[in-house]
Each structure stands twice: as structure tokens, then as C-alpha cells.
Amino acid sequence: MSKKRALVCGAGGFIGGHLVRRLKSEGYWVRGVDLKYPEFSPTQADDFIQADLRNATVAEVVVKGGIEEVYQLAADMGGAGYIFTGDHDAVVMHNSATINLNMLEASRLAGVKKIFYSSSACIYPEYNQMDPDNPNCEESSAYPAGPDSEYGWEKLFSERLYLSYMRNYGMEVHIARFHNIFGPEGTWTGGKEKSPAAFCRKVAETPVGGEIEMWGDGKQTRSFLYIDDCLEGVRRLMESNFEGPVNIGSEEMVSINRLAEMVMEIAAKEVTIKHIPGPLGVRGRRSDNNLIGVRLGWKPSELLYKGLCKTYPWIKEQVELLSK
Ligand code: NAD
């Protein structure tokens, strides 16, 4: 039997790189495409094309050759330091929307039947996430829309774009809203890293008794999902008859202060936290997993602490490698 052929857009990035590995372990033939090769380990893709998906001709080329499934993860993306400052709004919206417009049209023309799109928890309205103890991220709460970033607005637009292609052209579409995915081989420095990686790096870099900085009072809350659970959710969604959008995230909500404490516990290192002003995003956010439980009969289960135990040593190693 010939192997199923999949295309992973954003295969040089964090989730895309892991997804390529996961698809290979399931016996797929995989093509990856990205502006860059994966930074931390060689790609496992059978074919890797280094190219820019903002170019429509590139999108047409990469879906050729009998690609049956497309996983569209390529986006201009980063943590709060990139998304919430406002400085990158135009490029984020332009780059990501162009990639999605190109990939959908190219997939349609090539007759791709199944396409996965990675949306984000950032689409949820700010007005439902003001209370750190009681945010509402139920899928149906997305409208009336009110994301707190242009990144979120672009994701919402693209969700609608994918659903339109499903309705008008009969394409099989699956949309997930990821909530803070973390793990080894994720961006850990340079300004685009997210909070779990940032705290792992800061704790690893700082001597015992030293000081690390945290944006805000640390009482803002979030939930974080380990990469393996994310991939399990993506694959289950793709094998289901559910188009979504559905949350793929953790229901374990912690304050950012608690997140930093967990990292210190794992590192067996006490440092003090200095709270400074910075870009924050919403006050509280956590995945609501009712819908995924009902529609897929499964929900993510790995504890944050366990995922951090696998992530911290990897970031510590990167810090040590860099300082050599
Ligand atoms: P990432 O930045 O590591 O990966 C995205 C990849 O897309 C990068 O390797 C980048 O080079 C590539 N890319 C950007 N522009 C491109 C272009 N013009 N042509 C080709 N490739 C291009 O991010 P990630 O954490 O792996 O996220 C993957 C997807 O999941 C993104 O769409 C992101 O918005 C979404 N998402 C991630 C999270 C998370 O917590 N990591 C949360 C919500 C949504």
C-alpha cells in the first residue's frame, strides 16, 4: 500500500517540526515547507522546501505531487513581546493572511481533500478574559468578536476563510485553536519566545539568589499544553468528522507567578522575581475542553509540571551551549 502524503507548512518551526516527526512515525510520506530549516535538529521530512508561502507560485508548487493532507501552521508569530507591542501588527496580519489565502487556493486547485489550520486562543474576546480566576474560552464565545491583538483578528479572519472554502468548495477542513503550546525545540530566546520558555531560560541563566524579571504582577493566569498532547489532538481532529474550530489546550490554569515557581522547583534553584511593566495580553485565559471531549472523546491530560520537567533540561542545555 502506498504511503499517505502530507504537507506540513511551517515545518521549520516548533510545532511543525514535531508534527513532521509524528507523521513520519505514523508511516506518512511528508513534505515540509518553511522559510527556514528547523533550528535544533535535522528535519525528518522526506522532502523539505525552503521557500516563502507569501508567494502564490510557491504555494502552488508545494501542494503538487499527490499531497492528500495539508497541515497549515506557517504564520508570523511570537510571544507577548512580539504580538502585543503593536510594532508588528501590519506585518503579522499581512504575512499570515497572505499565507492562508495562498495555501487554501493552491490546495483547492490541486484537489487536496483535507486541510488542517492552526488557529489560536488569541481569537477569544478580551471582554471574557478580564477576571484571572474565571475566563471564558468556550468555542461558542468567540462572537461577538473582540480579540485583544491583530494576531488574533487575523486568525479569526482565516478561520472564516477556511470555513468558507469548506462550504463553497466542499473541502474537508479541520480547525484547532491552540492554547500556549510548549516543549523542547520551541523558541526560547530572541524576543519571540513565550512565557514557559522565557522563565526556563531566565532561571537557567541566573545564579542562585539572583533576580529575574517578569512582566506585570504575575497574577495573570494562563494554561499551557505540552507538545505531545497538542500533536495527539491535531491527529485525532484530522481523523474525525469534526471541522471545529475546537480548543486544543490544557484546562490546568496557573498564575504566571506559579509558572515561574514551578520552573524554580524543577531547577532546584531559588531566584527572586522583579515585576516590571511589559506587554501582558488578557488577564486570564484557559482552554475550555468540553467540546473536544464531546466531539473527539478525548482531551489533553498531561500536567504542566510534567511537561516543564521535560522542557527545562533542554533549555538549560541550550543556555550552556550558547555560553561556551
Ligand atoms: P513557529 O514560529 O515556531 O512556527 C511557524 C513557522 O512558520 C516558522 O518556522 C516560520 O519560519 C514559518 N513561516 C513564517 N512565515 C512564513 C512564510 N512566509 N513562508 C513559509 N514559512 C513561514 O510557531 P509555532 O509555535 O510552531 O506555531 C505554529 C502555528 O500554531 C502558528 O500558526 C501559530 O500561530 C499557531 N499557534 C501556536 C501557539 C503556540 O503556543 N505555539 C498557540 C496558538 C497558535
> Rounded to an integer, what distance in angstroms lies between the CA atom of residue 195 and that of residue 224?
9
Whole-model pTM?
A: 0.96
- What's the pLDDT tens digit per position in 224-264? 999 999 999 999 999 999 999 999 999 999 999 999 999 99
* Span 115-166, pLDDT tens digits: 999 999 999 999 999 999 999 999 999 999 999 999 999 999 999 999 999 9
Ligand 1 pocket check for 95: Cβ under 6 Å: yes
Nearest-atom number in ligand 1 for the CA of 95 is: 18
Whole-number average pLDDT of the chain:
96
Three-state DSSP at 163 gives helix
The atom number, within ligand 1, closest to the CA of 78 reads 2
Q: Which fold has domain 5-181+224-248?
A: Rossmann fold (3.40.50)
Does the annotation mark 226 as catalytic?
Answer: no
Distance 178 CA to ligand 1 centre (A): 11
Ligand 1 centroid – CA 33 distance (Å): 12
**178 CB less than 6 Å from ligand 1?**
yes
Query: Any idea which architecture 184-222+253-284+303-323 has in CATH?
Result: Alpha-Beta Complex (3.90)
Residue 2 pLDDT more than 80? no
The predicted model gives 31-55 an average pLDDT of: 98
pLDDT at 262: 98
- The answer to whether the Cα torsion of 22, 236, 179, 177 is positive or negative is positive
Q: How far, in Å, CA of 262 to CA of 255, rounded? A: 11
Compute the distance from residue 10 Cα to the ligand 1 centre, in Å. 6
**In this predicted structure, which of 24-28, 60-64, 127-131 has the lowest mean pLDDT?**
127-131
> Which residue of the set 28, 71, 151, 165 is catalytic?
151
Task: Show Cβ contacts of residue 15 under 8 Å, excluding neighbours closer than 6 positions.
Answer: 73, 118, 178, 181, 227, 230, 231
Cβ atoms of residues 68 and 23 within 8 Å: no
What are the residue boundaries of the structural domains of the chain, listed by start? 5-181+224-248, 184-222+253-284+303-323
Residue nearest to atom 37 of ligand 1 (CA): 178
Query: What is the atom index within ligand 1 of the atom nearest the CA of 53?
Result: 19
Q: What is the pLDDT of residue 324?
A: 82
